[in-house]
Amino acid sequence: MRVSRSNDDLMALKREIEKEMDLRDDSTPEGRAQYPLWKKLTPRQQFLTLTTTMFLFFGVHNVLQEAMMKVPGFNGIMLSYMEVLG
């Protein structure tokens, strides 16, 4: 048997679940998700974390790009253009 629910019922259920999971802070607009660990870091630690993460992902990007260039028959000219323009 299929149960039909109204939009209001579904939104109330969503709010209840978000509250139980502590994903929503009613004091912020749209109840955006909060990251308590991030807020405990000083601005310097936040900056260093973001910088380290950026370099890590950039390094992974370069390793994957080099692996793609070594694939037989792969023409990397368009990839190079897109990297310069993007």
Does 78 fall in a domain?
Answer: yes
Q: What is the model's pLDDT at position 4?
A: 67
Does 1 fall in a domain?
Answer: no
Q: What is the model's pLDDT at position 38?
A: 85
The dihedral built from the CA positions of residue 9, 15, 16 and 18, taken in this order, carries a sign that is positive
Per-residue model confidence as pLDDT tens digits over 27-85: 555 555 677 888 889 999 999 999 999 999 999 988 888 888 888 887 777 777 777 77
Q: Domain range for residue 25?
A: 7-85
Does 62 fall in a domain?
Answer: yes
Residue 13, SS3?
helix
Give me 47's structure tokens.
Answer: 């900056």
**13 Cβ contact list (under 8 Å, min separation 6):** 5
Does 21 fall in a domain?
Answer: yes
Q: What is the model's pLDDT at position 48?
A: 96
Spatial separation of the C-alpha atoms in residues 66 and 68, rounded to whole Å:
5
Total structural domains within the chain: 1
Does 2 fall in a domain?
Answer: no
